[in-house]
């Protein structure tokens, strides 16, 4: 039920801090350590390479998850679009572990990969919001997102839940391996939940920005570097699916290799800047497009901000920034769709779960 909300999407955006707190509770043992299925632990210890398989928003969460597993647990990770993997399987390592990320657990493209990799005898873990779903039943192990039902076609709370669970999984794997980590995901996620609340309390700000940037535009570009590049891909998917604005997410450094030709007077370009090591370079990219007439908007992390930024995000751990930088992007997409009179919860041509290949 929507309750007092005009749309499920807005309700689900607002639920994200609660979902993160629920995940902390579900994955915390009594002694405050991480609580995780022992079989999943063993599978993570055994593998020499993780293959993340997903579609759409879940694929974008997988890209962020790769960072966690590689950087924290020191295991190589490949992230694949399910429909591509399914028809063009890459060479596999000796001991692959397949992780299927799916809100619904019913995505046919992902299931097709699961059927193929199971036939090859490889272990599979499904990370899903629906424990009894096909992908959950047919995989060897399941991790639950605990996000509650997601009704709006545009996925929001499932994305942040997927990233939170992937962070917990990566840290647990690192700890079992005996790697020395100072990063405590459960504590850091608590900080994230409060930061999310600060953002969802400032909706008018994003309503105003969305009106100014997107009400009449034909197209829009999002740019970022490092993990921000993954978030801008999600930002552009959100915007295109509910507002029908042609949007793309680009790596800041790639602009000069072609895309910058598309920038005209007034083209909206939204940049995310949450990573210290690329802060100067992404800002250089913003200047390049601004000099060619783009209508720019930079969303930065506290500590890295400049006076010209449109919005400064509350500070969270550098690894977890996607969980907060995505909230303004979800809200911008939501308000853009409203300002353009689009059906927010049920965009044209789309279904909540895609059960055909
Ligand atoms: O249920 P799944 O997570 O497997 O769904 C995958 C995609 O179909 C889904 O994320 C889709 O891209 C959303 N509509 C994005 O908002």
Instruction: Please provide residue 288's backbone torsions phi and psi, each rounded to the nearest 5 degrees.
Output: -60, -45
- Which residue owns the Cα nearest ligand 1 atom 11? 56
Q: Would the pTM count as exceeding 0.95?
A: yes
Ligand 1 centroid–CA 58 distance in Å is 6
Question: What distance separates the 2 farthest-apart alpha carbons in the chain?
Answer: 57
d(CA 250, CA 91): 28
Contacts (Cβ under 8 Å, ≥6 apart) of 215: 336, 339, 340
pLDDT value of position 351: 84
Residue from 117, 137, 115, 116 nearest 126 by CA: 137
What residues does 124 pair with on adjacent strands?
A: 98
Ligand 1 centroid–CA 155 distance in Å is 6
Pocket probe for ligand 1: among 7, 8, 54, 56, the residue whose CB has the most ligand atoms within 8 Å is: 56
Pocket probe for ligand 1: among 354, 355, 357, the residue whose CB has the most ligand atoms within 8 Å is: 354
Verify whether ligand 1 is closer than 6 Å to residue 58 (CB atom).
yes
For this structure, is 177 an active site residue?
no
* Intra-chain end-to-end CA distance of the chain, in Å: 30
What is the atom index within ligand 1 of the atom nearest the CA of 155? 16
Q: What is the ipTM of this complex?
A: 0.98
Verify whether ligand 1 is closer than 6 Å to residue 354 (CB atom).
yes
Verify whether ligand 1 is closer than 6 Å to residue 103 (CB atom).
yes
List pLDDT tens digits, range 273-308.
Answer: 999 999 999 999 999 999 999 999 999 999 999 999
Ligand 1 centroid–CA 354 distance in Å is 8
- Catalytic option among 35, 203, 211, 352: 352
Q: Which residues of 297-314 are buried (b: 16+ CB within 10 A; e: fewer)?
A: bbbbbeebbeeebbbbbe
Ligand 1 centroid–CA 103 distance in Å is 7
d(CA 318, CA 307): 21
Q: Map residue 55 onto helix, strand or coil.
A: coil
Kindly tell me if the per-residue pLDDT of 1 is higher than 90: no
List pLDDT tens digits, range 103-138.
Answer: 999 999 999 999 999 999 999 999 999 999 999 999
List pLDDT tens digits, range 42-101.
Answer: 999 999 999 999 999 999 999 999 999 999 999 999 999 999 999 999 999 999 999 999
What residues does 179 pair with on adjacent strands?
A: none
H or E element that contains 127? strand 124-128
């Amino acid at each position: 039920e929507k309750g007092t909300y005009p749309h499920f999407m807005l309700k689900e955006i607002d639920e994200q801090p609660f979902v993160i707190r629920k995940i902390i509770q579900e994955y915390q043992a009594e002694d405050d350590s991480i609580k995780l299925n022992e079989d999943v632990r063993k599978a993570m210890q055994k593998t020499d390479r993780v293959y993340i398989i997903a579609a759409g928003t879940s694929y974008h969460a997988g890209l962020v998850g790769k960072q966690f597993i590689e950087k924290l647990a020191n295991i190589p990770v490949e992230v694949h679009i399910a429909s591509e993997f399914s028809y063009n399987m890459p060479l596999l390592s000796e001991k692959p572990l397949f992780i299927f990320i799916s809100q619904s657990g019913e995505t046919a493209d992902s299931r097709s990969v699961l059927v193929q990799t199971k036939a090859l005898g490889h272990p599979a873990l499904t990370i899903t919001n629906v424990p009894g779903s096909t992908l959950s039943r047919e995989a060897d192990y399941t991790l639950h997102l605990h996000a509650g039902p997601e009704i709006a076609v545009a996925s929001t709370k499932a994305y942040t839940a997927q990233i939170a669970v992937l962070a917990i999984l990566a840290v647990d794997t690192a700890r079992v391996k005996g790697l020395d980590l100072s990063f405590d995901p459960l504590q850091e996620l608590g900080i994230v939940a409060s930061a999310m609340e600060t953002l969802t309390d400032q909706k008018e700000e994003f309503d105003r920005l969305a009106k100014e940037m997107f009400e009449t535009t034909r197209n829009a570009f999002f740019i970022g570097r490092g993990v921000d590049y993954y978030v801008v891909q999600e930002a552009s998917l959100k915007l295109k699916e509910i507002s029908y604005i042609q949007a793309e997410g680009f790596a800041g450094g790639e602009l000069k290799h072609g895309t910058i030709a598309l920038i005209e007077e007034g083209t909206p370009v939204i940049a995310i800047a949450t990573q210290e090591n690329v802060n100067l370079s992404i800002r250089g990219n913003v200047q390049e497009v601004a000099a060619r007439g783009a209508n720019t908007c930079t969303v930065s992390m506290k500590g890295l901000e400049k006076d010209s930024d449109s919005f400064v995000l509350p500070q969270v751990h550098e690894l977890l920034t996607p969980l907060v930088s995505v909230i303004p992007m979800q809200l911008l997409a939501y308000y853009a769709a409203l300002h353009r009179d689009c059906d927010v919860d049920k965009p044209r041509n789309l279904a909540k779960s895609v059960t055909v290949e």
